[in-house]
Structure 1
Amino acid sequence: MRALVQRVTTASVTIAGKQISQIDAGLLVLVCAMQGDSQANADKLVAKLTKLRIFADEAGKMNRSLLDTGGAALVVSQFTLAADTSRGNRPGFSQAARPDDGKLLYLYFCKTLQKAGIPVKTGQFGADMAVSLTNDGPVTFWLEV
């Protein structure tokens, strides 16, 4: 699985002009299931994400995790993270999991993240979404398991 993780002060998802999810301080997690991924990959990503020390401590150093801060996660499915842009000008997405498999892993990831103690809000799998955020820092990380 791949994830683009952004530390945010606020983030939201809007579909057809209606806001469906919103968080304050925490992480916006754009996530993509790849071909061959399993629940074990999702478990590894959750373990990494919950313990990733990217929030400031009292000294201003990145030394606190999402679990430490009590922040929330807004998790949005984004198959375009699987894009192969190595040839030509048109990205290829053949490395992405099939939609049915991707949806199952996305839902499993969200559920597992919530079980780990993180308040989770979501986008809508497969929908055309408008994602708004205020990146804090800016702090952005690419994770792949």
Structure 2
Amino acid sequence: MKKILLIILIILGLLIVYELFKEEISNKLNQNHTEYIDTIEVNPVEPRTNQVTNQISTTDTSLGKSIFRENCAPCHKLDEDMIGPKLSKIDSLTYFNWLTNEDFEKSNQGKGLSMTKHHFNYSSNLTKEEINSIYTYLKQNE
């Protein structure tokens, strides 16, 4: 009986010590993580200029809408943040770089703006016409 009581007291003591120092340990871990993130060098990436933004106005918006619903809507909404940020009022350079420039995406990882690998699985399967049609759909629904 004394052994069981001793084990219970030891467990309770450990739980009390844990509760007393839990916040301090968590703060130290967060501080170490922040310090590590600050040491990561982010190399600026030249934006791609080969996007065909002058052809956007002639792109079919119904195609853009269906592609958006299938590929983008699981993580994005037009007018509010979801898993990903809202996509209304996105400028063309940002839009095309996120979809077509993997170096641009990688350069933003240290800033906490990283996309997961599935993002490029979606966008790498899209043609330029489809990417343009999504952008047209976004612009017409601002």
Q: Shorter-chain TM-score: what band?
A: under 0.3
Higher helix share: 2
Normalising by structure 1, we get a TM-score of 0.27
Higher strand share: 1
Between Structure 1 and Structure 2, whose CA radius of gyration is higher? 2
TM-score by length of 2: 0.28
